[in-house]
Structure 1
Amino acid sequence: MTSRLKTGADLPRPIGLSSVQPDSVDDRAHGVALRWLVIERERHRLEDVWAATEAFMAKSYNWFALSDRERADHPAGQLMEALDRRIAKLGKRNERLLERLLRQPATTPGGIMACLQILAELVHPAENEEAHRLIRQITSALEVRAAAQ
């Protein structure tokens, strides 16, 4: 069980989904993209719970001084292991959804917006700050435009 503290706080958070509602049944990619975003939000939430649990255990119970066996036997260790499995399962599900999206492009404004939001999640600011900021700028402009219509 490796620490998620290194990555939990620096992950980008999903953009709000308020302006991204399904446009049409004709854009299957839109529904797939929305599912991806919901799953990713849940993954982030679970990673935050995992990190908070580890931080509490490290501070209160000297977690890192315990043996692997002691950590695995502790209820907090069992919770963290269950969270880890769930996070991995959600990650695999999103990988499959992303593969589907690559085969069926979005055809509506809402579908395109949802795909851009996925792109903003995938392009981490630490890896390419300019690209990430540009994607966020585009999605914000599209949200404003959609709200004005």
Structure 2
Amino acid sequence: MLQGEIERHDMAKRYWLMKSEPDAYGWKDLVAEGEGTWDGVRNHRAANNLRAMQVGDEAFFYHSNIGKEIVGIITISQSGLVDPSDPEGKWAAVKVKPVRKLARPVTLAQLKADPKLADMEVIKLSRLSVAEVLPSEWEHILSLSRD
């Protein structure tokens, strides 16, 4: 196994939302690469969320600033990495792979307007670039992407 790869036997899959500015690194960039390193996160809470991720966890890929919408689903392919963009080696990174594009993007306005999502970490802490998503929130957002 590679560094950060962990077999999951008794750990439940966790879900996340990961924000990226599409003009810097968007969904199309990740799809073209096939696998990307999620690095450059310099917020302690977001970095702790990166550290909590395990191989096999899934995340919504969210376009911030431009679009402000969830556009796809990604999977964590390597976890527990040191951020290669940090010369001091104190920040975390993960590797991600695209799973699929959502049939219909789910906008920030939809998330904020939905009472079932009012307690989402990303709604309460809007500047957080990597946020946990509860399984019930995950399923509800998936249903919104199909409507």
TM over 0.5: no
TM-score of the aligned structures, taking structure 1 as reference length: 0.27
Give 1 or 2 for the bigger CA radius of gyration.
1
TM-score of the aligned structures, taking structure 2 as reference length: 0.27
The structure with the largest helix share of the pair is 1
The structure with the largest strand share of the pair is 2
